[in-house]
Structure formats: C-alpha cells, structure tokens
DNA sequence: GTGAAAGCGCTAACAC
DNA sequence: GTGTTAGCGCTTTCAC
C-alpha cells in the first residue's frame, strides 16, 4: 500500500527538473548520457511508472481503445474481440471492453464512461439512433459494428442479406419447402437476415414462417423448440438467427426425439467454433468474426490517426456458406404429403 | 468533433462558480432551487458530461474495476466475467476487461496500464510470483483468480484437487483402469488437477498416464487425439485439463472412428455451456464459473471499500460432478484383457 | 541541453 | 449557500 512515486520524486532523486524527466520518459528529447543515466537509475530504484491518467488529461490521448459488446457469452463476439485485440496491440493500443448485456438500462452510462477513457471505440449496440447520435457527437472516433451507421459514421458488418439469401438457396436446392426462420427482432441484423431469406424463397414461390425467440441465445433456441416442432404445420427446415439459437434448438430437438437432419434440417449463422462439435455438426454461414474485429479496429485506428481520409461508409464482409451435417437433401418422395404434389425435381 | 464543454463553461453559462457546479454534479451539497435550475439548464444545453479522468486524478478513484483474463475464447472465462460484471454493476462500478492471451509478452505492460485506470482488479494469469509481486506492490487492491495467492493476497478458485479427485473416483467406480490425463502444465491449476486425479487412482492401486497438450484449447485437444488413441497402450478413460480440450478430443475421436463412451470414456472440467450439446454430452465437473466471478468481485469490492476486515485467504469454490453421456460403466468382461482378470464386480 | 512556469479539468478545503 | 484557491501528476511552450 505504499504511495506511488511521482515524477517529482524521480526528479528530486535524480537531481534534475521534472521537465527533464518528462521528456526523458517520453523520449521527446535526448540528454547528456550522465543525465539520462541518473534519471533512469532514479526510475528503476523508485519503480516509477508514469500515471497515464495525468498524461491523458493533458495530451488528450489515452493509448487505449474500447470495444462495446452485447454479450460476451456469444463466441461470435468473443472472436470479434480477439480480432480487434490483435490489431489494437499491433498498433500499440490497449483494448478495453465492456459487456452491456447485463444491463441494457445503463448502457448509455457505461458507454459514456468508457468513451472518456479511450481514444475511440467500436460499438455494437441496439441503441436507437438518436441516443447513438449523442455518443457520436462526443467527438470520439467510433466504428459501429453489426449495423449500418447513420450519416458519415464508419460501420462494419457482414452482408446479412447475402448470408440469409444463400441459406435460402441452399435449402430450396436441397428440396425443402416449408422453411421457418427463428428471428430475434430487437437485434439489428435480424431484419436483413429475414429479408434475405424471404427474398430467396420468394423467388422460388415459397414463403417463410417466422418465429420469434426471446434472445439470441442457446436457452432461447432450446425453449422455442417444442413450439416449432409440435406445431401442426411443422417446417422441414429451420434457419436460425444465429448459431447459438441453432445449437439450443438442436438440443431441444434431440430431447424431443426429433432427429436432425433426417426429420428436419437446421442452419445457423455466425460459424462459432462449437458448431463443429454439435451433433450433428451445424451447417452455418461463416461471418468471419475475427476478421470483422480486425477490420473494425483498422477502421477505428485510421480514424484516430486522422492521416488517411476518414472512412465513412459501411464495410461489408462477405459471408461464406459452411456445409456440415445439420442439413441434407430432402428425399423427393416426401413424408406425409397427402395428395398429389406437383413434380419436385431431384 | 466539437470541443467538449468543461465545468468552466457550465459555470459561466449558469452564472455561478465552478465550485458550485462541481458540488452540484456530485450531489455533495444542495443549493437554492434557483441555482440548481440554472446549473442543470446549463448542463443540459451544453450537453456537459464531466471528465472522469480529471475527477479520478483528484479523488484517486475511477469508478471502474478491471478483470484480466487469459483467454476470452474460453466460455469458462466469459462466464467468470459475466458474474464479475453483474456484481460490479450492482455496486456502481464499471467493469473493464482485457484479454492477455494474444500477447503474453506484453502482459505486464497491459496489466500496468489497466491497473492505473481502475480501483482494483481481478487477475487471472500465469505470471511467476516475483512479477506478480510488483503488481501487488502497486497498491491497488487485487484478487487473484485461479491460483492461490502468495502472502496476504486474497484469491479465489475452485478446489481443483477435489474436482479431479471426484473424477478419479467416478471413473474407477465405473470400472475404468487405464486412465489418462491430458494436462497443460503451464496453467496454474494443472498441478492440483493432476494431483487430485493421481491420488484418487493411487488409492485404488492405479496410475495415471499423463499427456501434455499445447494449450487449454479445442484445437489442442483435437490435435493430441491421435497420439493418445493410437498409442499402443490406449487408455479406456481420459480426463482432460478442461472442457475445451475434451471437446476437441471428442471431435478428433469421432474423426478417427472411435466412439465415445463405448470405446473410451472422456471427462472434462469447467462445465462450459456447450458441453451439453456435444455428442455425446460431456461429463464434466462444474466449477461454477459465474459464481467464481461474483465471489471474486465481492472480495475485490470489499477490499476497495476497505470497511470490512480485508480478506486475505484463499476462497475455494466447491466443484460438483456433472454426469452426462461421455462416460459409462465399463463392461466387466473387458475387451482385450488377455489372462485371468480378478473379479470386477458390476 | 535544461528548467521554470503555465495549465489539462476537476475536487476539496476553507473563506465569505 | 456560494465562491476562492490550491493543487492532483503530468506535458509543453519558452526562456536560459
């Protein structure tokens, strides 16, 4: 609990002025080697570390960047963080992150608190635009993640429409006809995912049945399972808002004795690492989570540096279909098809 | 990019002194309602937010606590964070966390940077003790997580010995005799886990074969799989350093055509949420990750408050066995048992 | 090369 | 009740 030494202590011990010490620490200037030695010695002996708060106050820079995530329990986000962390460190920045999931109510406050401690942030939030505006007006560089930003704010995300569209195409090609979407409306990307899927199906004269989960989580996917599987018009394929929902749903299905993909195909979005280890392995769309974080951080860092022309558009990362075992080609001679079904090729 | 208003701007606009504004913001004092109204109006019009850095510099408090984790990609740690976050928020603290995984080398620097921005931290690290000492000497309250702290530093973790011991008992009871441990020596809890398992087996006259994974991760579990399964003395049960390794191992086993638990039993430690959804569902030991975070944060907050007598010991959380489907009773008439095997009851 | 002095934005005595 | 003032620990002109 000893008091931390200040720059003054170092100066006194080294017999120089505090200005000299300051310049030495920041390598702003060189001194005679005698002086440098003395200062360095004093620093070592005192175990002096400069106080970043004081420095920040005056320079206006903190050397840290922040990432605000919705739910750190979702591996998609942790991978985004991993990616962001890597490039932040490469550029000499420390990454601080906060998880807003636990209390949406205090989100703005949390964000505000964080924004004052960093040089810029990557924000992933469901906040309405007008609240967002206040954050943006704060003058800190911000990159929005997972949603398209208003006005001239850079943002990054996957092409959610394309992701869902390719899922639609896959399922139709595999012979599925009754396709359901397990959506989570409050999430920003939900709309685009739903649209992408709908449009794909519409082009084949099909419609999507929408179900609403209570959150983009495993438990919610599990919870909604019975409602979907026991409905009188059971779908033959399910596309989930994300992998978490899909995994939960698969767990629920197993408990209900429904087998995947024999009875029903299921596909997620995100490509979280665990999708490979479910039973069956989850077919999904890779959104390149880590790259998302990396590119987002690059965007942010570029803004902070201010040298390059500020990027203001939306960067869309291309999704990629990941075929695994939770979907399969639906046998042409379908199950409980009652009357004459118009020819289903292949 | 407009300049942020300062307390002086507010004071000027409201026609009062900056001291008044300061006291008003912090509700340190009440004023005549006329004054309060004016000040509030000025704050609103200017969209003033006080600068926490400046405040921190003088009060010495930041209103934030930090958590340092080894790998945010491991759901065990994300759950610890969740728990810690919850109680931090309940107590009016913001939680910042950093992931040191990406560069162990800069860990100390990262830690130092973080420690200056928070009122205390929960640290989970593999740092040797002498490095740790320097951190502890910094005067910030610290709680060590996942290892027993030296001297009078509070620490928290599961009873790793007990966790591994109960796994040993289970496996022996189930009739397994050739038990292997997939350890990760650099991790602090590894030693205790290995010891717990060894002791349990020793009491039954058995020995544990130790393998070393390259990291406590899925990929490493997957990677080591063939070496273990294709060894000439294939074990009949594997206990893994943690669930991540176990999940990876199971994936590898599946690829090799080895079926679990028929051919080999496998058990993890941590009880990460995904363990329920692997195939088969993973038998593991619940370490109560969230509670670990919660209790750790309580310990920390108590230290920061300084009112209660400082806790200095090690808090051990009791582990609980979670039986699922990756282990099973081994048939008495064992597989390739060559000669007469002494009666194995049930 | 080196140091003195003026703050960064704010809080905390202490006066009035 | 309200204002004055002295810093928190540091950086940064600007003289010497």
pLDDT single digits (tens) B77-119: 999 999 999 999 999 899 988 899 867 778 888 888 888 889 9
Note the maximum CA span of chain A.
98
Find out whether A137 and A146 touch, Cβ atoms under 8 Å.
Answer: no
Determine the protein residue whose CA lies at the shortest distance from the C1' of C7: A58
pLDDT over threshold 50, residue A343: no
Closest chain A residue to B106, measured at CA: A89
Determine the protein residue whose CA lies at the shortest distance from the C1' of C2: A20
pLDDT-derived band at A308, boundaries 50, 70, 90: low
Q: Would you call A11 an interface residue with chain B, using a CB distance cutoff of 8 Å?
A: no
Chain A interface, mutation test: which of B102, B221, B294, most A Cβ atoms within 10 Å?
B102
**How many beta carbons lie within 10 A of that of residue A328, not counting itself?**
16
Chain B interface, mutation test: which of A274, A304, A306, A325, most B Cβ atoms within 10 Å?
A274
| A269 Cβ contacts chain D strand, under 7 Å | no
> Given an 8 Å threshold on Cβ–Cβ distance, is A52 in contact with B116?
yes
**pLDDT value of residue B192:** 96
Q: Would you call B85 an interface residue with chain A, using a CB distance cutoff of 8 Å?
A: yes
Minimum CA–C1' distance nucleotide for B7:
C9
Retrieve residue B60's tokens.
């010495």
Please work out, in degrees rounded to the nearest 5, the angle formed at the alpha carbon of residue B51 by the alpha carbons of B47 and B57.
Answer: 165
Nearest to A228 by CA among A264, A197, A198, A201: A264
Cα–Cα distance, A113 to B117 (Å, whole number): 12
- Kindly give the interhelix angle for A33-46 and A7-14, rounded to the nearest 10 degrees: 130
The class (CATH top level) of B160-286+322-334 is alpha beta
pLDDT-derived band at A307, boundaries 50, 70, 90: low
Q: Quick one: DSSP state of residue B182?
A: E
**How many beta carbons lie within 10 A of that of residue A169, not counting itself?**
17
pLDDT-derived band at B333, boundaries 50, 70, 90: low
CATH number of B64-158+289-319: 3.40.50.2300
**pLDDT value of residue A345:** 44
Q: What percent of chain B has pLDDT over 90?
A: 74
Q: Do domains B64-158+289-319 and B160-286+322-334 have the same CATH topology?
A: yes
Nearest to A194 by CA among A254, A243, A240, A235: A240
Bases of chain D below 7 A from a protein C-beta are 1-5, 7-13
**pLDDT value of residue A346:** 39
**pLDDT value of residue A339:** 46
**pLDDT value of residue B341:** 43
| B58 Cβ contacts chain C strand, under 7 Å | yes
Find out whether A99 and A69 touch, Cβ atoms under 8 Å.
Answer: yes
The minimal CB distance from B81 to the residues A2, A94, A99 is found for A99
Determine the protein residue whose CA lies at the shortest distance from the C1' of D9: A54
From the centroid of its chain, how far is CA A66? Answer: 13
**pLDDT value of residue B132:** 84
Q: Å from A62 (CA) to D10 (C1')?
A: 13
| B51 Cβ contacts chain C strand, under 7 Å | yes
pLDDT over threshold 50, residue B345: no
- If you average pLDDT over residues A71-86, what whole number do you get? 95
**Candidate ranges A50-54, A111-115, B145-149; pick with highest mean pLDDT:** A50-54
Q: What are the two backbone dihedrals, phi and then psi, of residue B333, each rounded to the nearest 5 degrees?
A: -75, 85
In B115-134, the residues whose Cβ lies within 8 Å of chain A are 116-117, 134
A44-58, A296-310, B212-226, B265-279: which has the minimum mean pLDDT? A296-310
| B12 Cβ contacts chain D strand, under 7 Å | no
Find out whether A243 and A282 touch, Cβ atoms under 8 Å.
Answer: yes
Chain B interface, mutation test: which of A5, A80, A89, most B Cβ atoms within 10 Å?
A89
Nearest to A154 by CA among A281, A289, A295, A17: A295
- 3-state SS, residue B156: strand
- If you average pLDDT over residues A171-180, what whole number do you get? 96
Determine the protein residue whose CA lies at the shortest distance from the C1' of D1: B31
Retrieve residue A40's tokens.
């360095």
Beta strands per DSSP E along A78-145: 94-99, 121-123, 142-145
pTM recorded for the entire structure: 0.91
Return the number of CB contacts < 8 Å for A and B: 144
Q: Which CATH superfamily is domain B7-59 in?
A: lambda repressor-like DNA-binding domains (1.10.260.40)
CA distance B87 to chain A (A): 10
Cα–Cα distance, A294 to A289 (Å, whole number): 9
Domain boundaries, chain A: 7-59, 64-158+289-319, 160-286+322-334
Within residues 24-53 of protein chain A, the ones with CB less than 7 A from nucleic strand D are: 25-26, 28, 50-51
**How many beta carbons lie within 10 A of that of residue A25, not counting itself?**
17
Bases of chain C below 7 A from a protein C-beta are 1-5, 7-13
Q: Would you call A206 an interface residue with chain B, using a CB distance cutoff of 8 Å?
A: no
> Given an 8 Å threshold on Cβ–Cβ distance, is B139 in contact with A2?
yes
More confident residue, A200 or A110: A200
Secondary structure tally for chain A: helices H, strands E: 12, 12
Contacts of A276 in chain B (CB under 8 A): 251
Nearest to A49 by CA among A85, A5, A91, A15: A5
Place of tokens 């009666």: B343
Q: Å from A117 (CA) to D11 (C1')?
A: 18
pLDDT-derived band at B343, boundaries 50, 70, 90: very low
Cα–Cα distance, B125 to A344 (Å, whole number): 59
Q: What are the two backbone dihedrals, phi and then psi, of residue A134, each rounded to the nearest 5 degrees?
A: -65, -40
Q: Would you call A53 an interface residue with chain B, using a CB distance cutoff of 8 Å?
A: yes
Place of tokens 């406050």: A109
Q: Would you call B86 an interface residue with chain A, using a CB distance cutoff of 8 Å?
A: yes
Minimum CA–C1' distance nucleotide for A29:
C1
- If you average pLDDT over residues B214-231, what whole number do you get? 96
Nearest to A46 by CA among A8, A10, A3: A10
| B25 Cβ contacts chain D strand, under 7 Å | no
| A19 Cβ contacts chain C strand, under 7 Å | yes
pLDDT over threshold 50, residue A341: no
From the centroid of its chain, how far is CA A230? Answer: 33
> Quick one: residue B331, left, alpha or beta (phi over 0 = left, psi -120 to 50 = alpha)?
beta
**pLDDT value of residue B307:** 64
Cα–Cα distance, A226 to A65 (Å, whole number): 43
Q: Would you call A203 an interface residue with chain B, using a CB distance cutoff of 8 Å?
A: no
Question: Alpha carbon of A297 to those of A291, A302, B27, B72, B256: distances in Å?
Answer: 10, 8, 38, 18, 39
Beta strands per DSSP E along chain B: 64-69, 94-99, 121-123, 142-145, 155-158, 179-183, 208-212, 237-240, 265-267, 284-286, 314-317, 320-322
| A256 Cβ contacts chain C strand, under 7 Å | no
- DSSP assignment string, A226-263: HHHHTSTT--SEEEESSHHHHHHHHHHHHHTT--TTTT
Retrieve residue A254's tokens.
């197993």
Which sign, positive or negative, has the C-alpha torsion B317, B320, B326, B327? positive
**Mean of the per-residue pLDDT values of chain A:** 90
Closest chain A residue to B280, measured at CA: A279
């Amino acid at each position: 609990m000893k008091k931390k030494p200040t720059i003054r202590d170092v100066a006194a011990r080294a017999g120089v002025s505090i200005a000299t010490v300051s310049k030495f620490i920041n390598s702003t200037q060189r001194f005679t080697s005698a002086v440098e030695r003395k200062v360095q010695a004093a620093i070592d002996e005192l175990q002096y570390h400069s106080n970043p708060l004081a420095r920040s106050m005056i320079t206006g820079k903190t050397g840290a960047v922040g990432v605000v995530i919705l739910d750190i329990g979702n591996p998609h986000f942790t991978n985004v963080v991993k990616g962001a962390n890597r490039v932040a460190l490469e550029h000499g920045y420390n990454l601080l992150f906060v998880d807003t999931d636990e209390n949406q109510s205090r989100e703005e406050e949390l964000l505000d608190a964080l924004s004052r401690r960093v040089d810029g942030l990557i924000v992933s939030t469901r906040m309405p635009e007008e609240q967002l505006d206040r954050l943006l007006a704060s003058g800190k560089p911000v990159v929005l993640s997972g949603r398209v930003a208003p006005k001239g704010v850079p943002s990054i995300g996957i092409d959610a429409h394309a992701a869902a569209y390719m899922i639609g195409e896959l399922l139709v090609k595999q012979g599925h006809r009754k396709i359901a979407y397990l959506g989570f409306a409050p999430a920003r990307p939900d709309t685009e995912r739903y649209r992408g899927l709908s449009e794909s199906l519409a082009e084949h004269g099909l419609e999507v049945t929408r179900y609403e989960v209570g959150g983009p989580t495993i438990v919610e996917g599990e919870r909604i399972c019975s409602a979907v599987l026991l409905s009188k018009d059971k779908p033959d394929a399910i596309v989930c808002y994300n992998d978490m929902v899909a995994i939960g749903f698969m767990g629920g299905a197993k408990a209900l004795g429904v087998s995947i993909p024999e009875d029903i195909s299921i596909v997620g979005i995100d490509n979280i690492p665990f999708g490979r280890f479910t039973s069956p392995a989850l077919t999904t769309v890779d959104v390149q989570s880590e790259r998302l974080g990396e590119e987002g951080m690059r965007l942010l860092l570029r803004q902070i540096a201010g040298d390059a022309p500020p990027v203001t558009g939306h960067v869309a990362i291309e999704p990629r279909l990941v075929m695994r075992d939770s979907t399969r080609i639906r046998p042409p001679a379908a199950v409980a098809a009652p009357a004459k079904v118009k020819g289903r090729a292949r």
